[in-house]
């Protein structure tokens, strides 16, 4: 993520960004900002503690500005890498918009920007990010289900207009009234009173309402819940590649003894032991590719690779020595 650096300021910023206490400090500031926004909706509280609310807003804006600056410095000589992460872009836009001249004079826009800071909680809590990612991923998969829901509502709405348009005009007088009424039934809002009012108009409203509730509230909603849950599971796996259930997580390669001890010759009669070093060559190559930028681990891997090459050269020399007598015999014959 970060390139190596010896600059003390850059290292300090990286420490702050990755430290747990700094993250909890950011969460605390976000919560204080949210609480001040809620208190600001009470006129009496604004009249008595308006100065304190303004101070909290200024302190929160100062902290978020410093947080963005620290994040930029942490990338050292490549500060543009800061904008490769979507949440960093969001933080930068919110801070820059709040500092833009003329923005603080517009009370509505300023309150909207302060409200947007609360969304930073999604960045602080991975579980919230999974929920957001799951909801976002479920939207494309739900387009067909949404279209089917609209068609069913329209069909049942037109059927209601035809059957009850004259006797129940306040609910089925027009298609928009019927669709709004059916959406109310779909979420099971005040179903008991709706059924009783419908029975007073016509007995046919009972099968009409029951069939729509069964299809709309039970079948379609359960399918939608299944789509959302599946998308959340995908988001959890992609968002946490270190989880045991992650399908794309690399399989760890266990290093094995690949070279004989010093002073010990390779046994010529045991082909399995002679070719054991070659069989682990691909594993060592995979380890070198997956190894982090840690000097001790890299040195160990390089040492094992060198031992492998020595083993391969020894085997080649042994095979060449075995071929020479055979070639002499062929030439004599």
190 in helix, strand or coil?
coil
User: Can you tell me the mean pLDDT for 209-218?
Assistant: 90
Residues 146 and 212 both lie in one domain: yes
Residues 191 and 233 both lie in one domain: yes
185-193 contacts at long range (C-beta below 8 A, 24 or more positions apart):
185/209, 185/212, 185/213, 185/216, 185/217, 186/149, 186/153, 186/212, 186/213, 186/216, 186/217, 186/220, 186/221, 187/217, 188/213, 188/217
Say how far residue 143 (Cα) sits from the centre of its chain.
Answer: 21
Residues 95 and 189 both lie in one domain: no
pLDDT level of residue 190 (50, 70, 90 thresholds): confident
Could you report the per-residue pLDDT of 152-167, keeping only the tens digit for each? Answer: 999 999 999 999 988 8
Closest CA to 91 of 118, 111, 55, 59: 118
Residues 85 and 144 both lie in one domain: no
Could you report the per-residue pLDDT of 81-90, keeping only the tens digit for each? Answer: 888 888 788 8
User: Can you tell me the mean pLDDT for 225-254?
Assistant: 61
| Domain end point (choices 239, 254, 288) | 239
What's the domain range around 321? Answer: 271-332
Neighbours of 192 (CB within 10 A): 8
| pLDDT at residue number 283 | 54
Number of structural domains the chain divides into: 3
| Within a domain: 248 | no
Residue 4, pLDDT > 80, answer no
Residues 81 and 105 both lie in one domain: yes
Residue 279, pLDDT > 50, answer no
Residue 239, token pair as written in the block: 């968002």
Residue 233, pLDDT > 70, answer yes
Do the beta carbons of residue 178 and residue 161 sit within 8 Å? yes
User: Can you tell me which residue has the tokens 């070093």?
Assistant: 277
Residue 41, pLDDT > 80, answer yes
Residues 89 and 19 both lie in one domain: yes
Specify the higher pLDDT residue, 290 or 307: 307
| Within a domain: 328 | yes
CATH of the domain at 33: 1.20.120.350
pLDDT level of residue 245 (50, 70, 90 thresholds): very low
User: Can you tell me the mean pLDDT for 213-220?
Assistant: 89
For the entire predicted model, the pTM comes to 0.51
Least confident range of 92-101, 138-147, 205-214, 270-279: 270-279
| Within a domain: 134 | no
CATH of the domain at 184: 1.10.287.70
Do the beta carbons of residue 291 and residue 298 sit within 8 Å? yes
Q: At what angle do helices 143-164 and 126-141 cross, to 10 degrees?
A: 60
Specify the higher pLDDT residue, 301 or 4: 4
Cα separation of 172 and 164, whole Å? 6
Mean pLDDT computed over every residue of the chain: 77
Residues 63 and 153 both lie in one domain: no
CA angle 195, 201, 203 (to 5 degrees): 70
Closest CA to 37 of 117, 97, 93, 100: 117
Cα separation of 21 and 11, whole Å? 17
Residues 225 and 275 both lie in one domain: no
Residues 184 and 97 both lie in one domain: no
pLDDT level of residue 141 (50, 70, 90 thresholds): confident
Neighbours of 177 (CB within 10 A): 18
pLDDT level of residue 70 (50, 70, 90 thresholds): very high
Residues 68 and 101 both lie in one domain: yes
């Amino acid at each position: 993520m970060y390139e190596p650096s010896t600059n003390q300021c850059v290292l300090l910023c990286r420490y702050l960004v990755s430290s747990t206490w700094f993250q909890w400090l950011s969460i605390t500031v976000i919560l204080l900002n949210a609480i001040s926004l809620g208190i600001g909706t009470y006129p009496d509280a604004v009249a008595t503690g308006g100065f304190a609310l303004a101070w909290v807003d200024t302190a929160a804006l100062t902290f978020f500005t410093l947080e963005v600056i620290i994040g930029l410095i942490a990338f050292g000589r490549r500060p543009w890498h800061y904008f490769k992460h979507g949440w960093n872009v969001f933080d930068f836009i919110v801070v820059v918009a709040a500092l833009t001249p003329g923005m603080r004079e517009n009370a509505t826009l300023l309150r909207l920007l302060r409200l947007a800071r609360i969304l930073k909680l999604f960045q602080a809590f991975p579980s919230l990010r999974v929920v957001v990612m799951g909801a976002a991923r479920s939207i494309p998969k739900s387009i067909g289900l949404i279209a089917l829901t609209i068609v069913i509502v329209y069909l049942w709405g037109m059927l209601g207009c035809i059957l009850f348009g004259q006797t129940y005009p306040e609910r089925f007088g027009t298609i928009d009234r019927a669709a709004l009424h059916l959406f109310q039934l779909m979420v099971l809002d005040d179903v008991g009173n709706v059924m009783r009012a419908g029975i007073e108009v016509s007995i046919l409203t009972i099968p009409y309402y029951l069939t729509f509730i069964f299809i709309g509230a039970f079948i379609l909603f359960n399918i939608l819940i299944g789509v959302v849950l599946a998308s959340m599971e995908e988001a959890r796996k992609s968002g946490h590649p270190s989880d045991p259930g992650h399908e794309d997580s690399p399989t760890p390669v266990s290093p094995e003894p690949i070279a004989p001890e010093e002073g010990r010759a390779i046994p010529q009669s045991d082909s399995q032991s002679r070719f054991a070093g070659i069989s682990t060559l691909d594993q060592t190559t995979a380890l070198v590719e997956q190894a982090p930028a840690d000097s001790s681990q890299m040195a160990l891997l390089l040492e094992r690779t060198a031992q492998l090459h020595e083993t391969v050269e020894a085997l080649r020399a042994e095979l060449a020595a075995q071929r020479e007598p055979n070639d002499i015999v062929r030439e004599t014959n």
